[in-house]
Amino acid sequence: AQSVTQPDIHITVSEGASLELRCNYSYGATPYLFWYVQSPGQGLQLLLKYFSGDTLVQGIKGFEAEFKRSQSSFNLRKPSVHWSDAAEYFCAVGHNKLIFGAGTRLAVHP
């Protein structure tokens, strides 16, 4: 079965601290992987995507993610979090329709 697991429902970090959001997937074929961010009352904005090639991908707003096939993971990272990064983050996998994880809500303390 195809699925995406985001183990952390809520994460709180201090502004300026580093961040890692975890994502594990189960998918029959070579996956296309995505991270989206959703601010309150908004739609989803694409942060980054992985299709093939270099397993470390760079996205917008200083985010990056690393694809690890052996661990079926696609974790999102940011070296220094800003207060404006507070939002909900979704990992997704798929080729046409996307299957989303349940999301991780990030809070940033000043």
Partner 1 sequence: EAGVTQSPTHLIKTRGQQATLRCSPISGHTSVYWYQQALGLGLQFLLWYDEGEERNRGNFPPRFSGRQFPNYSSELNVNALELEDSALYLCASSALTGTGANVLTFGAGSRLTVL
- Residue 11 within binding range of partner 1, rule CB under 8 A: no
Tokens of 78: 């940011």
- Residue 32 within binding range of partner 1, rule CB under 8 A: yes
Q: Which of residues 51-90 bind partner 1 (CB under 8 A)?
A: 51-52, 90
Q: Which is nearer to partner 1, 14 or 96 (CB)?
A: 96
Do the beta carbons of residue 22 and residue 86 sit within 8 Å? no
Size of residue set near partner 1 by CB under 8 A: 23
Burial string for 11-24 (b: 16+ CB within 10 Å, else e) reads bebeeeeebebbbb
Q: Which residues contact partner 1 by CB under 8 A?
A: 32, 34, 36, 41-46, 49, 51-52, 90, 94-103
